[in-house]
């Protein structure tokens, strides 16, 4: 998702996590793990603090109740290389949603490709 006007990375991360739950619902998943490299966002969604984006966290917690199991986990950027590369590449995309279910943009998911060669 490409956002416009959000200057704080932590707020953008929480908004994107909310969109992750919406995507999981659209895909009719019942259980999933949502990973982020933003430790503060994960702590907020896990119930420790609300931060300046408390209203979004509250919505995430409400939506999470619709699933059998949702696990919010923190992953450092080193284990999240593809997601970071994708986020950096989206700077040239139009505002809005972009979903790739089969073939991601060129240069993304290189670590997956290297594991399966």
pLDDT along the chain (117 residues), means of 10: 71 87 93 88 79 87 94 80 67 69 62 46
pTM for this one?
0.70
Task: Quickly tell me which residue has 């209203």 as its tokens.
Answer: 55
- Residue 87, H or E segment: helix 81-89
């Amino acid at each position: 998702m490409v956002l416009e006007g959000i200057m704080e990375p932590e707020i953008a991360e929480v908004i994107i996590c909310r969109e992750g739950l919406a995507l999981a619902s659209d895909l009719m998943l019942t259980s999933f793990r949502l990973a982020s490299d933003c430790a503060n966002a994960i702590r907020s969604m896990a119930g420790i603090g609300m931060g300046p984006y408390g209203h979004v966290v509250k919505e995430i917690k409400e939506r999470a109740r619709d699933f059998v199991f949702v696990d919010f986990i923190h992953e450092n950027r080193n284990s999240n290389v593809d997601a970071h590369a994708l986020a950096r590449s989206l700077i040239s995309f139009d505002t809005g949603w972009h979903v790739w279910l089969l073939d991601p943009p060129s240069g993304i998911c290189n670590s997956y490709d290297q594991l399966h060669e």
